[in-house]
Amino acid sequence: MIDLADRTDVAPELRLVPHAFREAFGQSAEGVWYAPGVVSVLPGLSVCARWGAIVAGARRDDGIIHLASINRPAEPVILPTDDVPGWAKPVVQVVQRLHPGGITLLCSVDLPTGSGLSSSTALACAAGMALRDLCQPGMPLGHLVDVLAQSQPRSRVEAAFAGYEVGVDIAGARLLIVDTRVRRDTPVRLADFPVRQHGSLDELGQDLTGFHRAQQTETEQDIAVDAALNAGALGATMLVDDPGRPVVVLATPDRLAAVRACVSDAFRRESRTPPRYLTIRPSAGARKVTR
């Protein structure tokens, strides 16, 4: 059987992690698992992106749990330990609940925490699948979701496994994530907002903007939303992706360039750190990558 790291028909980002696993640990990974980032557009409405988390793993017979990260190569984790770096906390929380035997996991996350795509949830889901398949293969998916939902927002976990769009249809439009670069340690309490059935993109856009106006927002989020609307976006709203405070914009493809330019100009006028952008098309859900 050809190692996934050597499969030229597999996307490069999916080959990178098992290749790094083989280089680091001198053996092929037994499997590779992927989970998408999730944009929580409105309460109960989510869209999955192709960016997310990838985990390569293999069992070991010495009882040791070894966690490593391509993104944080100088911060490996050998469990048990009281010194858990930030990147590993979503994985450790799952390990503590599943109690696997010896295992080595190498993790990779496409995006920084707080950028708007729930990267910590994606990592928890990918690691949870790896731990289940390698150590408890008889566990039903529903039980794994319950376990993951003890440390991650349930709606994001369920959306990550469902894939594509949950409760919303954005066909004919795109989501633009604006990472405002704002990071906060204090949690946000969202105000209640009635979410209706959306018969059109215009209605969805109106509710996005209405949701934003109902919340306590950061100045940078308001700047981004106002500028996006001025550039012809259908709607926009703040996101909470702790510790980040990004924004999601709904726009037709022909308006995306104008929205990015207008938001960037607004940030420059206000002497704010330039934002980062990511255009989202709905993508598949969490899965084991076939060898």
Residues 97 and 52 both lie in one domain: yes
Query: What's the pLDDT score for residue 111?
Result: 87
pTM: 0.93
Please give the structure tokens belonging to residue 130.
């790896």
Query: What's the pLDDT score for residue 291?
Result: 52
CATH number, position 149: 3.30.230.10
Residues 214 and 262 both lie in one domain: yes
What pLDDT digit, counting tens, does each position of 154-179 carry? 999 999 999 999 999 999 999 999 99
Residues 144 and 34 both lie in one domain: yes
Residues 55 and 13 both lie in one domain: yes
CATH number, position 199: 3.30.70.890
| One-letter-per-residue 3-state SS of the chain | CCCHHHCCCCCHHHHHHHHHHHHHHCCCCCEEEEEEEEEEEECCEEEEEEEEEEEEEEECCCCCEEEEECCCCCCCEEECCCCCCHHHHHHHHHHHHHCCCCEEEEEEECCCCCCCCCHHHHHHHHHHHHHHHHHCCCCCHHHHHHHHCCCCCHHHHHHHHHCCEECCCCCCCEEEEEECCCECCCCCCCCCCCCCCCCCHHHHHHHHHHHHHCCCCCHHHHHHHHHHHHCCCCEEEECCECCECCEEEEECHHHHHHHHHHHHHHHHHCCCCCCEEEEECCCCCCEEECC
Distance between terminal CA atoms of the chain?
8
Phi/psi of residue 179, nearest 5 degrees: -85, 105
DSSP β-bridge partners for residue 276? 179
Residues 45 and 180 both lie in one domain: no
Residues 140 and 258 both lie in one domain: no
What pLDDT digit, counting tens, does each position of 204-262 carry? 999 999 999 999 999 999 999 999 999 999 999 999 999 999 999 999 999 999 999 99
Residues 22 and 138 both lie in one domain: yes
Residues 99 and 220 both lie in one domain: no
Residues 9 and 120 both lie in one domain: yes
Residues 143 and 49 both lie in one domain: yes
Instruction: Kindly give, in sequence order, each residue whose CB lies less than 8 Å from that of residue 95, ignoring residues fewer than 6 positions away.
Output: 65, 67, 79, 127, 131
241 Cα distance to chain centroid: 9
What percentage of the chain exceeds 70 in pLDDT? 99
Residues 14 and 85 both lie in one domain: yes
Residues 237 and 173 both lie in one domain: yes
The domain total for the chain is 2
Domain around 115:
4-164+283-289
